[in-house]
Amino acid sequence: MIALTEDDIRSSFVNASRRERTGATLPAELASTDWDGLDYLGWRDPKIPGRAYAVVPLDGGPVGILFRQAEAPAGLRMMCAWCEDVWLSSEVVFYGAKRSGASGRQGNTMGTYLCRDFQCSENVRRDPPLPYKGYDLDAARQGRIEQLQLRVAAFAERL
């Protein structure tokens, strides 16, 4: 992923009002972010409970998404729709996002289950358990990274 500035991030949001863009709390560690290890930038807003953001690199430039976390039903364990990691060490929650443009202004939304703290880029780079002798870990990891990038981009394009 290419490095983004604060202005790049704020101007990338396609489903947020001007007030929501300026009120967004950006990641504190933005200056020290390892951009090469990210497939998208995602974070939770520490000042507004239940609000989160993701910035997805697309061919036309970065696309920012404002998410709202829904209340989770008790006792259910879900799988992240982006990284599809079955060995999750973190919680998966349902995030909803207003659609962009006129559709979003009419109240239309879309949503998906995602890692609560957006650690999908870490999850797909982690070595999975070896299913058999001679298994190509590097090819499997690269395949997971490519699939994550495709799923994230598809969500952003549908928004």
Instruction: Check pLDDT > 70 for residue 146.
Output: yes
DSSP 29: T
Predicted model pTM: 0.86
**pLDDT (tens digit per residue) in 91-117:** 899 999 999 988 888 889 999 999 999
Domain map (residue ranges) of the chain: 6-158
**pLDDT (tens digit per residue) in 67-95:** 999 987 766 778 999 999 877 667 899 99
Report residue 72 CA to chain centroid gap.
18
HSE-CB at 151 with a 13 A cutoff on CA atoms is: 17
Please report which helix (H) or strand (E) contains residue 49, including its range: none
Instruction: Check pLDDT > 90 for residue 157.
Output: yes
Instruction: Check pLDDT > 70 for residue 131.
Output: yes
